[in-house]
């Protein structure tokens, strides 16, 4: 039996020999069927697939391990809803702004902030895709309007705060292929800072839509839907008729009793004889109580009535003047009384007396400044009012309109801004000015060793506290509860499946090719940043936002189903979902190069 000779012809081998090459050298570099059995080199952007899965599993497990104590403590009853709300608000007001400031202000600069305009575009595309997916899935499941809106809210609003921030920080310290080649000396801290910046922009866009469209329309209370109001209105109409009939009977009965009570009252108080009772039928209430003794009552009774009248008059006007026990008939009100009588300021008993000398100087200065501020503002207001009155009428109307628009814009911005946003704004300002950045983060700076170090210490509390509260929220929202709504019991399982499909499956399948095309062909440098691609992929398949549970509790919307969705997404599906999303993101980064 002869073996098949796979070597090239003799002429080719002689030509290779004359060129100084051997068949062994050629066979080691030329493609052949045996090359596939050689060990493949890993991608430049990430390690081999098996090692990558292990690293991602470790990052997700870190998040789970930090969240688990909060879950256990809450299940034991030591971490109730009020404490969770307090710590969550404390984290939002203090620790998260410190984290944002230290991560952004120390690593960013003005050049990195130019091309962030692509983030709102991607956010709109993600929201639109999730909305269309939820609409199609709701029609396939045959949901009504209320259930369809619930599924839409679960699909559109993903978590862009607690879990993604923790994963981004953990992945930036774990994976070594996330450094951006366009930044010289890029390191893990800069990767985490950029990831937090991207997440914060996505988060604020989501907050704006979540508390407007989501709160008022998608997760509106049950009475906002006409299909539920018809039945309740019919029941309320019959209840109202019965209530009105009973109320009418009670009013008639009470009126009869009132008439009899009036007769009895006059009969007992005026006289005990029947004749005087008959005289009381023509009784008319007297006007002002006479001062003299012309009344049938005794002089003592007349005097008492006079005092009662004076007390009533004093209660109405609050200006009756009593001097030496005599009542002055002159009654002064408003400015007249202020002009006639002037009383010195009486110190409140609870108000501390200002000590004399140097000790009381700060309080006296503070009181003087307060009076000066009030007087100055009053004078400026009157002067501006006089200047405004001298202007032409059209110009006055224009200024009034501009003032109204400016007031509304300022009110909207003040309501929209929150401590994390203020921290991000200050961080961008500091990062944009090199002198300020050196002042806060240079090693030998006094501000760095005092203020910045204190802020950094507080920033270290943010992520662990976020995860502990996350675990406690899961424990509170996933406890076994019996739904009181018959509709929720009937369609609860289908709502759960539809919500998970619309949030963690179909949007990822649709958005992955779109993000890959963006990263490959859109000429925006931010799309070359590996951590930005990872953030986009994490947000496409992130679990539903935890704030949706709060909105559902406020509006009483499928609370039991909401708890089951949180348990399924954050406990069961989070690990395989994160593995798939991060691997796909890194493969897209490698393909886009």
Q: Render pLDDT for 304-321 as a digit per residue (tens, 0 to 9).
A: 555 555 555 555 444 444
Domain assignment of residue 77, given as a range = 49-224+418-479+493-592
Provide the pLDDT confidence category of residue 69 given band limits of 50, 70 and 90: very high
Q: d(Cα 222, Cα 233) in Å, to the nearest integer? A: 13
Q: d(Cα 54, Cα 457) in Å, to the nearest integer? A: 31
What does pLDDT average to over the chain?
75
Q: Tell me, what's the pLDDT at 305?
A: 54
Residue 72 falls inside a structural domain: yes
pLDDT of 349 over the 60 cut: no
Q: d(Cα 16, Cα 36) in Å, to the nearest integer? A: 25
The SS3 assignment for 484 reads coil
Range of weakest confidence among 128-137, 160-169, 235-244, 405-414: 235-244
Q: Tell me, what's the pLDDT at 46?
A: 59
Mean pLDDT to the nearest integer, 79-98: 86
Q: Tell me, what's the pLDDT at 287?
A: 41
Residue 24 falls inside a structural domain: no
pLDDT of 540 over the 90 cut: yes
pLDDT tens digits, one per residue of 547-561: 888 788 788 889 888
pLDDT of 380 over the 90 cut: no
Q: Tell me, what's the pLDDT at 331?
A: 43
Residue 451 falls inside a structural domain: yes
Range of weakest confidence among 9-23, 225-239, 408-422: 9-23
pLDDT of 103 over the 60 cut: yes
Q: 483 or 589: whose pLDDT is higher?
A: 589
Residue 352 falls inside a structural domain: no
The SS3 assignment for 322 reads strand
Residue 504 falls inside a structural domain: yes
Name the CA dihedral angle for 256, 258, 260, 265, rounded to a multiple of 10 degrees. 180
CATH code for the domain in which residue 461 is found: 1.20.1530
Task: Give ∠ CA 213-511-575 in degrees, rounded to 5.
Answer: 90
pLDDT of 583 over the 80 cut: yes
pLDDT of 336 over the 50 cut: no
Q: Tell me, what's the pLDDT at 203?
A: 85
Provide the pLDDT confidence category of residue 166 given band limits of 50, 70 and 90: confident
Angle at which helix 453-477 crosses helix 81-90, to 10 degrees, equals 150
pLDDT of 584 over the 50 cut: yes
Cβ contact 537:584 at 8 Å: yes
Q: Which residues contact 214 (CB under 8 A, 6 or more apart)?
A: 153, 156, 157, 548, 551
Residue 191 falls inside a structural domain: yes
pLDDT of 515 over the 90 cut: yes
Residue 88 falls inside a structural domain: yes
Query: β-pairing, 326-331 with 320-323?
Result: antiparallel
Q: Rounded to the nearest 5°, which phi and psi values hold at 323?
A: -125, 120
pLDDT of 171 over the 90 cut: no
Domain count, the chain: 1
Provide the pLDDT confidence category of residue 502 given band limits of 50, 70 and 90: very high
Provide the pLDDT confidence category of residue 451 given band limits of 50, 70 and 90: very high
Most confident by average pLDDT, 8-17, 74-83, 147-156 = 147-156
Q: 431 or 283: whose pLDDT is higher?
A: 431
Residue 361 falls inside a structural domain: no
Name the CA dihedral angle for 50, 55, 60, 61, rounded to a multiple of 10 degrees. 100
Residue linked to tokens 């209320």:
146
DSSP 19: T
């Amino acid at each position: 039996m002869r073996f098949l000779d796979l070597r090239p012809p003799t002429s080719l081998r002689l030509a290779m020999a004359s060129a100084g090459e051997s068949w062994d050298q050629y066979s080691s570099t030329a493609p052949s069927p045996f090359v596939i059995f050689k060990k493949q080199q890993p991608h430049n952007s990430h390690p081999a697939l098996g090692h990558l899965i292990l690293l991602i599993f470790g990052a997700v497990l870190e998040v789970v391990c930090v969240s688990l104590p909060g879950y256990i403590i809450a299940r034991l009853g030591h971490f109730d809803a009020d404490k969770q709300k307090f710590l969550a608000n404390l984290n939002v007001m203090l620790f998260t702004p410190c984290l944002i400031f230290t991560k952004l202000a120390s690593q960013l600069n003005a050049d990195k902030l130019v091309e962030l305009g692509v983030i709102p575009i991607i956010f709109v595309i993600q929201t639109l895709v999730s909305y269309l997916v939820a609409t199609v899935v709701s029609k396939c499941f045959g949901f009504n309007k209320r259930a369809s809106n619930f599924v839409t809210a679960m699909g559109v609003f993903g978590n862009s705060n607690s879990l993604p921030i923790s994963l981004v920080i953990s992945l930036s310290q774990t994976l070594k292929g996330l450094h951006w080649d366009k930044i010289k000396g890029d390191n893990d801290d800069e990767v985490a800072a950029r990831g937090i910046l991207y997440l914060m922009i996505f988060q604020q866009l989501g907050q704006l839509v979540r508390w407007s469209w989501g709160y008022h329309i998608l997760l509106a209370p049950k009475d906002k839907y006409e299909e539920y109001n018809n039945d309740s209105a019919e029941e309320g109409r019959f209840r109202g008729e019965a209530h009105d009939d009973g109320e009418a009977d009670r009013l008639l009965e009470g009126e009869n009793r009132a008439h009899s009570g009036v007769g009895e009252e006059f009969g007992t108080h005026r006289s005990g004889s029947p004749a005087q009772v008959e005289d009381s039928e023509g009784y008319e209430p007297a006007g002002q109580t006479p001062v003299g003794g012309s009344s049938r009552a005794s002089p003592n009774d007349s005097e008492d009535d006079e005092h009662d009248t004076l007390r009533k008059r004093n209660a109405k006007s609050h200006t009756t003047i009593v001097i030496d026990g005599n009542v002055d008939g002159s009654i002064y009100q408003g400015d007249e009384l202020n002009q006639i009588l002037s009383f010195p300021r009486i110190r409140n008993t609870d108000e501390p007396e200002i000590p004399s000398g140097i000790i009381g100087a700060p309080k006296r200065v503070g009181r003087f400044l307060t009076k000066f501020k009030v007087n100055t503002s009053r004078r400026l207001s009157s002067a501006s009012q006089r200047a405004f009155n001298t202007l032409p009428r059209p110009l006055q109307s224009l200024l009034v309109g501009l003032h109204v628009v400016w007031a509304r814009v300022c009110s909207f911005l003040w309501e929209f801004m929150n401590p994390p946003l203020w921290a991000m704004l200050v961080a961008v300002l500091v990062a944009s000015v090199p002198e300020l950045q050196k002042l806060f983060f240079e090693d030998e700076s006094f501000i760095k060793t005092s203020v910045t170090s204190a802020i950094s210490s507080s920033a270290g509390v943010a992520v662990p506290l976020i995860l502990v509260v996350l675990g406690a929220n899961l424990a509170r929202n996933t406890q076994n509860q019996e739904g009181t709504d018959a509709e929720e019991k009937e369609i609860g399982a289908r709502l759960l499946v539809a919500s998970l499909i619309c949030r963690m499956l179909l949007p990822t399948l649709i958005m992955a090719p779109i993000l890959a095309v963006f990263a490959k062909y859109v000429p925006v440098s931010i799309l070359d940043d590996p951590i930005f691609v990872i953030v986009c992929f994490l947000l496409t398949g992130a679990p539903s936002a935890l704030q949706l549970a709060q909105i559902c509790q406020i509006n009483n919307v499928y609370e039991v189903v909401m708890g089951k969705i949180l348990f399924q997404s954050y406990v069961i599906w989070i690990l395989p979902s994160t593995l798939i999303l991060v691997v796909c993101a890194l493969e897209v980064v490698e393909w886009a190069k």
